[in-house]
Amino acid sequence: MSESLSDCTEPRAAVTEAGAEALVHGISFKTGPPRLLGVELEWLVHELRRPQLPVAPERLGAVHAALRTAPLTSLFTVEPGGQLELSSPPAASLAECVDTVSADLRTVRAVLREDGLRLVGIGHDPWQPPRRFLREPRYDAMEACLDRTGPAGRAMMCTSASVQVCLDAGYEEPGPLGLGRRWWLAHQLGAVLMAAFANSPMAGGRPTGWRSTRQLRWVEIGPGRAGGPDLDAEPREAWTRHVLDSPVMCVRGDGDGPWHVPDGLTFREWTRSGLPRPPTREDLDYHLTTLFPPVRPRGHLELRMLDAQPGEDGWIVPLAVTTALFDDPQAAETAYRAVKPLAERTRAGRAPTNRLWLDAARYGLADPELHEVAVACFVAALEALPRLGADRRITDAVASYLNRYVFRGRCPADDLLDRLCGADRRPYGKDITS
């Protein structure tokens, strides 16, 4: 579903400030009727029978090699810490996307089982410290850049996993399926979805006090790298300004040598100074991939705020609920009205560092207002799924999640905490401690 700048332009030509603005403005949102969707699933890899033990790099490498020859429809890639990612091809329906990825996951799990390994759906590794598996110049540069704000960057690179839902940007015109509405809704509803699917309450074998420690890591990385743009401006204008005024992670080098990691150089400043060398269109394309906002426009909208989910099919629920709340006009209107009162909490800052996003990450659905909105949105999504052609497998999974978690003001993180700490934990408003 993505389209890079280099697909449409000569990548090695130098780019000016005005040229960069025009390119980002023109390619980041591709409007039209919402008709395609996709999902990107990141997974931790653990020992099948001893999940608290680290997996040797040699075993990870052997599994990756085997998967590269497996008959997969989805794109298979490896994250810096050895996490596995499957990126579905664009699908014309929710059912098609679920069927394609489910078949690929069966293949992946079979390969891993042969070596005593398994996929684990948790947003942040509960036990292992960050250990980088991939040793490449770009990841060396990423690590050096992120280290400037503390250890959160290494945790994000090596111990986190997510469910990322990809949806079309929507119509150019106003309305529940219009670009402006979907862009705004993604940043408000995104906090509710993040709270409902929070599944990373631990690090280093201990509770962190956050239902989504993965989201906490994004906050700690800082708004220059992981923050969203201003929502009061038109989406294209806001995103273009955000891209050019965000710091450059690195200046790519030739060959296998190290990449230069500037300190605080924005892409706009780079186009003006031309130092250490003039930026190219290919550099702009790469710069876009080094920005990690909770919602990233890549022609389509990439919703990046959801923790990886437990169970073999847990990923289906956030995919189905998110798709329904954006692509069904009736459900989208219900979600829009439900989340509007939450906007008061976003006035002090942009996602993910404003009060709404911080409360969602810390408390999940134990926050009463988030709980109320989540119930309304999940009920609307469940009612919309048959209209989107969802089969019984999908609707039953969403109904089960609604009853097990959402109605009860819980999220998967609460299950992990109950197992570790027992049911007697501090209520909403207090930090969770062991």
Distances (CA, A) of 62 to 55, 115, 117, 159, 283: 12, 9, 11, 20, 32
pLDDT tens-digit profile of 279-316?
999 999 999 999 999 999 999 999 999 999 999 999 99
pLDDT computed for residue 348 by the predictor: 77
| Intra-chain end-to-end CA distance of the chain, in Å | 43
> Beta-carbon neighbour count of residue 321 at 10 Å?
32
**Residues linked to residue 247 through DSSP beta bridges, in sequence order:** 266
pLDDT computed for residue 429 by the predictor: 41
What's the pTM? 0.94
pLDDT computed for residue 6 by the predictor: 46
Q: Which H or E run includes 118?
A: strand 117-120
For β-strands 117-120 and 206-207, DSSP reports them as unpaired
Output the CA angle 128-52-222, nearest 5 degrees.
Answer: 25
pLDDT tens-digit profile of 60-69?
999 999 999 9
Question: What is the per-residue DSSP string for 275-338?
Answer: -SS--BHHHHHHHHHT---SEEEEBEEEEEEEEP-SSSSTTHHHHHHHHHHHHSHHHHHHHHHH
- The Cα–Cα gap between 373 and 380 comes to 11
Residue 274 has pLDDT above 70, yes or no: yes
412: left (phi over 0), alpha (psi -120 to 50) or beta: alpha
146 falls in which pLDDT band (50, 70, 90)? very high
Place of tokens 């906090």: 191
Mapped onto helix, strand or coil, the DSSP state of residue 129 is coil
Comparison of pLDDT for 425 and 99, the residue scoring more: 99
Alpha-helix runs per DSSP H in 129-226: 137-146, 152-159, 179-196, 213-221, 223-226
**Residue 412 structure tokens:** 């998967």
11 falls in which pLDDT band (50, 70, 90)? low
**Residue 46 structure tokens:** 């653990």
253 falls in which pLDDT band (50, 70, 90)? confident
pLDDT tens-digit profile of 149-186?
999 999 999 999 999 999 999 999 999 999 999 999 99
Residues 6+ apart with CB under 8 A from 162: 40, 42, 123, 214, 304, 305, 306, 307, 308
13 falls in which pLDDT band (50, 70, 90)? confident
Residue 255 has pLDDT above 90, yes or no: no
**Residue 81 structure tokens:** 């810490």
pLDDT tens-digit profile of 332-383?
999 999 999 999 999 878 999 999 999 999 999 999 999 999 999 999 999 9
Output the CA angle 68-70-75, nearest 5 degrees.
Answer: 60
303: left (phi over 0), alpha (psi -120 to 50) or beta: beta
- The Cα–Cα gap between 236 and 241 comes to 9
